[in-house]
Amino acid sequence: MTLYNFLMLLGIVLFFLTAISTFCFFRISGKFLEREMKKEGILPPDWDSLMGLRYCWYAFAIIRNSVSPVSMVNDEAVLRLARKKDWYLAIFYLVTLYSFMAVAAIAYFLYAP
């Protein structure tokens, strides 16, 4: 197996793992956090009405496990409401996302025209 074939196979596997982890984190952790914050009267950020980028910031806040002085989301509420499985899903989400991006970047720089 050549390096090219290995990178393509790894990229395909990581693509599907990233899709699964994104779906799981958004639907399980993200929706739970937003539902609980809505009960407390905390609204989602206005800057992210359609794209869903706030979920990535939720994952960063959960993994960091500390309140950032400047944050795109309400870190205090996210940390207070996050469960143990949210931490595992956030790790799974970010590891697969960054692994896929790294493999894609390596393949691009080695084999792109």
Q: What's the whole-model pTM score?
A: 0.89
- 73 C-beta neighbours (distance < 10 Å), count: 22
Instruction: Say yes or no to pLDDT of 49 above 80.
Output: no
Instruction: Say yes or no to pLDDT of 44 above 80.
Output: yes
- With contact defined as beta carbons under 8 Å apart, do 76 and 67 qualify? yes
- 30 C-beta neighbours (distance < 10 Å), count: 23
Q: Which residues contact 69 (CB under 8 A, 6 or more apart)?
A: none
pLDDT digits (tens, 9 = 90+) for 15-31: 999 999 999 999 999 99
- Give the range of the structural domain holding residue 56, as residue numbers without chain letter: 3-111
pLDDT given for residue 91 in this prediction: 98
Structural domains counted in the chain: 1
pLDDT digits (tens, 9 = 90+) for 67-108: 988 888 889 999 999 999 999 999 999 999 999 999 999 999
